[in-house]
Amino acid sequence: MPFARDVATLALLLVVSPASSEWKPEYAQASKERQQWFQLQWINPEAQKRLNVPFKSCCDNGDVFKTRFRVGTANEDQWEYLDGDEWKIIPADIISNEPSLDNTPILFKNRVDGKELCFFKPQGGI
């Protein structure tokens, strides 16, 4: 039964040994700043009225929609995002004047009906 004893010893060591990975303090701070930024983003009043939603925060009933973005092909003042195989126009009334947090476009969509709630252009975006 030495094999069973060795397996039991190894299992015990795996349970009580501390993990060797390290979380750098700056990661925690960056994550906290990112979380605070997301919580402070609001739906433009015009969009809130058009969408007829009672909530004001982009995060209340919205999630970030990860996809590809491009400046509109017909109009440089227009942004588009890829939804499946289709490029969709981002409604002008959800586009914030404030740039995104990390210089990448950020789109929030309603988790209930999939409607676009908020869009933040990258810094330097049109």
Residues 6 or more apart whose CB falls under 8 angstroms from that of 112 comprise 61
Mean pLDDT for 10-17 is: 38
Q: Is the pLDDT of residue 69 over 90?
A: yes
Mean pLDDT for 109-121 is: 94
Judged by phi (left if over 0) then psi (alpha if -120 to 50, else beta), residue 103 lies in left
Rounded Cα gap, residues 87 and 79, in angstroms: 10
Helix (H, G, I), strand (E, B) or coil at 95: strand
pLDDT in tens, 89-105: 999 999 998 888 888 99
Tell me, what's the pLDDT at 50? 95
106 neighbors 96 (Cβ within 8 angstroms): no
Q: Where are the domains of the chain?
A: 29-120
Q: Identify the weakest region by mean pLDDT among 21-30, 45-54, 75-84, 91-100.
A: 21-30
